[in-house]
Structure 1
Amino acid sequence: MQRALVRPTIPIPGGFAKVTPLDQYMVRVIFPMICIFQVDWKSHRPTILRNLQVGLAHTIDEIGFLAANVVPECEDRDTIQLEYEENSGVWFYEKDVPEVEFDALAARDFPFAEMTVSRFVPEPRGHSNRTPVLTVQATFITGGVVVAFNGHHAVMDAQALGTFCQTWAKHVDAESKGLLALCSQRLSPDTLDGGSLFGGRTRRALSDFPPYRPASKNRYESTQQEVLQSAVSGYHDRLQQLVPLSHWRISPAALDRLKNFAAPPSKDLPTMTENALISALLWKHTTLARQKAGIHVDSSALLSTVNVRRRVDPQLPDEYIGNAVVLSRADAASTELHSTDEVSLYALAHKIVTSVNWWTADRIWELTGTIDNSPSVANRVLPRVGHDLLITSPSRIADAQGQSEWGSELGPIKAVRFAFPAFMDGYVAILPSMHGGQEVVMWVAPAVSELLAKDENWLQWMQRVA
């Protein structure tokens, strides 16, 4: 393996920079995103590497904090800040794994489980007292190139990582053509301005917000803490034992059936969103599988990530590069989750939509002020969890695949995958599928995953991906 430090073309002065409250309380994990290209690279490998590295340098010119490190700020409150060193840059790794064949991956639809961290993801893979915001690795496989980049979740959510990917692609494409990206194509300064996310002084406590309501200690809490600490430390092998990944797809036809099955029970009620219906389906069947696995569940919470870019005042641009995520919370008793009533799925979806819509600009402003005044902030976005679910839907990851050009040498992205260190048992990502419909990636206890794979009611909606 070789590496090179890619520096911006415009040097960045050394120093420190503050991060927003929504950055401060985010779970401090490294988020590896993986882009897979089909290319016979033997004749133009040097050109591919040059395009990627020059394109990355110009990307850092636009998004300077990519070259920073995440370091401690206040030890007592466990806050963080960004540090820029003299001659800072992004480490770019180059690796060969010829035993992996693009055609073999494509034949199995690029299964998430095959995109292993040890092969494709650069170090570091866990948070420490000095962790780079970004590292990159280009892995040359037989018939293709796998480009992985580690974004630190403490300063970038999945939407922001998608924006970075599109920006990098723009500059790689320009370099491939022997050009520079036009000034009109550059990101607006607003995309780096998180001023809307700084709240004022507030007397509200974190426990005043629905996701953080006081909860009694549960027996599964210690296991959930082990999952969280393994994710923060980047212990992917341990996570594979605790919460192995399972990959599912719900086809367009199955989605249509689901929408008809969970249609409003009367004309005066609203139609539920596609994501809410899928989330309700996941909530219901995962809870049932947990019960079958011998886990007693009296009640369960469904936590949803809420993109607040368009909910704050003033609004943030969709391309805002930072964390702009809060959690909503819907609760249901086991009787509701086990119900076979025709309207039960609609009712669960309605709870989810209501919980998301609770977040107004004023409440987000109060939350950020509360975080700013909290005695400890590290990983506080995640409440005390038991046998619950957390569902995220990072749509810009799909945009990165469908709307970016990477130059004639690399061609279009054939698949986007990620090696996310899930930080709880019950973490789920819903992603648009390149085949239509949606892909569902779940991290749950092994016994629960096995029971889902045998559940005929679940399998009438979901197809397992190899």
Structure 2
Amino acid sequence: MKPNHPPLQQISNCFITPENLPPQSKQPFYLGPSDLTVLSVHYNQKGLLFHKPPQAFNNGDHFMVSLLHRLKTSLSTTLFHFYPLSGRLATTTNGVYVDCVNSPGAKFIHVVLDITVSDILSPLHVPSLVQSFFDLNKAVNYDGHTMPLLSIQVTELLDGVFIACSFNHCIGDGTSFWNFFNMWSEIFQAPVSDGRGIISISRPPILERWFPDGYGPTINLPFTDPDQFISRFEAPELRKRIFHFSAESVADLKAKANVECDTKQISSFQSLSALVWRAITRARCIPQDQSTSFSVSANYRGRLKPALPDDYLGNMITSVKADAKAGELVERGLGWGAWKLHESVMNKTNEKIRESLEEWIQCPHTYQLSSASNPYNVKMGSSPRFNMYETEFGMGKAVGVRSGYGNTFDGKVISYPGYEGGGSVDLEICLLPQNMANLESDMEFMNAISPPRHLDC
């Protein structure tokens, strides 16, 4: 079957390396427990959509030539600070680490596609062609032994530019991903002639490795062959749609959940998550006595004692999970579900996190996407707290954030800040086609959403 959109035309690709490397880059950058657990999942894929500025239409090809040059040179400088992203994974008897010496660098691709920004933002469901904006689709993090740990694809549209980042999840979680993207933008905008050289940044990554007390810097995996811990998950046909929740709508959900539970402790995000959990459970027509769960990846840097700064480069995430019978979740109201989520969050203490990490070290395993793809589970990823819309590359504020193929499955929800900020939230929900149709007919859920304001401009 032929695609119903124009083909992408690749114009160029190359590898980007730092012009300078710090001395410590010659040493192995070892992966910690939470880094190793994601060897079998996909790369983290997020991208930003921009309108071309007016000058792009007045100077022929000059705008794109200049933009690409500045993106490459500023990326080279950024990789000085984030040098593990220019390496490759390596495995020895001492464990898995990043080798920054024997590597061609990060990949940079320029492609052209004859569609408009509106072709991406206007359809009700996220067009499948968005997946083609990302390199390394379906690659798992273990593939970083032979593939780039970072690949940037710049897709030039008729009236816009999409900058997509495929980021090996073993190197960092969403907090690390967006710190890299933000610092790249900061260097791009720095007042220098070509973006090269060593430029100080406001939030340099902390590269010193952290391990639980008494462990590290090496952790041996008890496997003799990758087939023992690496699997290749492929999602079925899914519908993906962005649902926008204004700050007012989120505040109303929070107020309702707290009133129902006679408390003030339930957060905005817990209230919104409960709405989603209940609505997807109804949309799936799950039997009342069937157990369901809602899980969210939570940053535990600040939960450790002593705490780690948010600029620590790595995976410092833990799964916060709540369980309930489908019938009870649906019948007992928004507040009941939100309180279940609140209790799960409060249970993730320093002691619980350290205990979980030690258990993993004693019996290592890797997270498998097939286990997440469960018809009774909902999984929330990313965060509306990440600084996405202030990431600019000389084209003004992005008009949209989108994800690639990586780590999507039935019941996956990806959260973004809303375009207008102020506590608004966008949720990219991935469901089987019939389940999506059912969700779009769910009155409680649809009454809570708001029109995205930037599309009205």
Q: TM-score range by the shorter chain?
A: 0.7 to 0.9
Three-state SS of the structure 1 residue aligned to 2:62 is coil
Higher helix residue share: 1
Following superposition, the deviation at residue 413 of structure 1 comes to 2.7
**1:362 aligned residue (351, 357, 379):** 351
Whether the 8 Å contact between 2:87 and 2:103 is mirrored in structure 1 is no
Three-state SS of the structure 2 residue aligned to 1:363 is helix
Whether the 8 Å contact between 1:24 and 1:378 is mirrored in structure 2 is no
Identity of counterpart residues, as a percentage? 19
- Structure-2 separation of matches of 1:115 and 1:354: 40
Q: Spell out the pairing of 1:15-94 with structure 2 (5 A cutoff).
A: 16-26=28-38, 28-39=41-52, 40-41=55-56, 42-73=61-92, 80-86=96-102, 88-94=104-110
TM-score normalised by length of structure 1: 0.79
Tell me the residue number matched to 1:100.
115
- Structure-1 separation of matches of 2:371 and 2:191: 41
Whether the 8 Å contact between 2:137 and 2:406 is mirrored in structure 1 is no
Q: Spell out the pairing of 1:252-331 with structure 2 (5 A cutoff).
A: 252-265=247-260, 269-291=263-285, 298-331=290-323
Three-state SS of the structure 1 residue aligned to 2:172 is coil
- Structure-2 separation of matches of 1:319 and 1:85: 24
Letter in 1 for 2:363: S
> For each residue in 1:96-117, what CA deviation from the matched residue of structure 2 results, as whole angstroms up to 9, or x when unmatched?
11x11135545x2896436622
**Gaps (5+ residues) in structure 2?**
1-9, 216-229
Three-state SS of the structure 2 residue aligned to 1:400 is coil
Following superposition, the deviation at residue 310 of structure 1 comes to 0.6
> For each residue in 1:383-416, what CA deviation from the matched residue of structure 2 results, as whole angstroms up to 9, or x when unmatched?
795511112342354x1322x3424xx3333322
Structure 2 CA distance for partners of 1:456 and 1:322, relative to 1, 3 Å: same
Tell me the residue number matched to 1:212.
none
Letter in 2 for 1:193: E
Q: Spell out the pairing of 1:189-228 with structure 2 (5 A cutoff).
A: 191-195=206-210, 197-200=211-214
- Structure-2 separation of matches of 1:280 and 1:182: 46
Instruction: Report the RMSD for the aligned CA atoms in angstroms.
Output: 3.1
Tell me the residue number matched to 1:417.
402
**1:5 aligned residue (15, 25, 50):** 15
- Structure-1 separation of matches of 2:265 and 2:247: 18
Whether the 8 Å contact between 1:170 and 1:181 is mirrored in structure 2 is no
Following superposition, the deviation at residue 22 of structure 1 comes to 0.6
**2:363 aligned residue (366, 374, 377):** 374
Following superposition, the deviation at residue 262 of structure 1 comes to 2.2
Following superposition, the deviation at residue 423 of structure 1 comes to 4.7
Whether the 8 Å contact between 2:239 and 2:430 is mirrored in structure 1 is yes
**2:427 aligned residue (440, 451, 455):** 440
Whether the 8 Å contact between 2:261 and 2:339 is mirrored in structure 1 is no
Letter in 2 for 1:288: R
Whether the 8 Å contact between 2:254 and 2:272 is mirrored in structure 1 is no
Letter in 2 for 1:101: T
Q: Spell out the pairing of 1:118-197 with structure 2 (5 A cutoff).
A: 118=132, 120-123=133-136, 125-127=138-140, 128=143, 129-174=145-190, 184-185=200-201, 187-188=203-204, 191-195=206-210, 197=211
Tell me the residue number matched to 1:117.
131
Whether the 8 Å contact between 1:394 and 1:430 is mirrored in structure 2 is yes
The alignment status of 1:395 with 2:373, answered yes or no, reads no
TM-score normalised by length of structure 2: 0.81
- Structure-2 separation of matches of 1:110 and 1:450: 12
Following superposition, the deviation at residue 276 of structure 1 comes to 0.5
Whether the 8 Å contact between 1:105 and 1:111 is mirrored in structure 2 is no
Letter in 2 for 1:305: S
**Gaps (5+ residues) in structure 1?**
202-227
With CA pairs under 8 Å and 6+ residues apart, which has the higher RCO, 1 or 2? 1
- Structure-1 separation of matches of 2:92 and 2:49: 37
- Structure-2 separation of matches of 1:188 and 1:430: 25
- Structure-1 separation of matches of 2:356 and 2:29: 22
Whether the 8 Å contact between 1:302 and 1:389 is mirrored in structure 2 is yes
Whether the 8 Å contact between 2:13 and 2:107 is mirrored in structure 1 is yes
> For each residue in 1:9-31, what CA deviation from the matched residue of structure 2 results, as whole angstroms up to 9, or x when unmatched?
11476664310101111252112
Three-state SS of the structure 2 residue aligned to 1:95 is strand
Structure 2 CA distance for partners of 1:15 and 1:252, relative to 1, 3 Å: closer
Following superposition, the deviation at residue 284 of structure 1 comes to 1.1
Whether the 8 Å contact between 1:55 and 1:175 is mirrored in structure 2 is no
Three-state SS of the structure 2 residue aligned to 1:364 is helix
Three-state SS of the structure 2 residue aligned to 1:142 is coil
Structure 2 CA distance for partners of 1:439 and 1:375, relative to 1, 3 Å: closer
Letter in 2 for 1:320: Y
Three-state SS of the structure 2 residue aligned to 1:116 is helix
Following superposition, the deviation at residue 445 of structure 1 comes to 2.2
Letter in 1 for 2:116: E
- Structure-1 separation of matches of 2:278 and 2:181: 35
Whether the 8 Å contact between 1:391 and 1:428 is mirrored in structure 2 is yes
- Structure-2 separation of matches of 1:64 and 1:176: 21
Q: Report how many residues are paired.
A: 415
Letter in 2 for 1:198: P
Structure 2 CA distance for partners of 1:181 and 1:262, relative to 1, 3 Å: farther
Range moving further from structure 2, 415-424 or 57-66: 415-424
- Structure-1 separation of matches of 2:82 and 2:90: 18
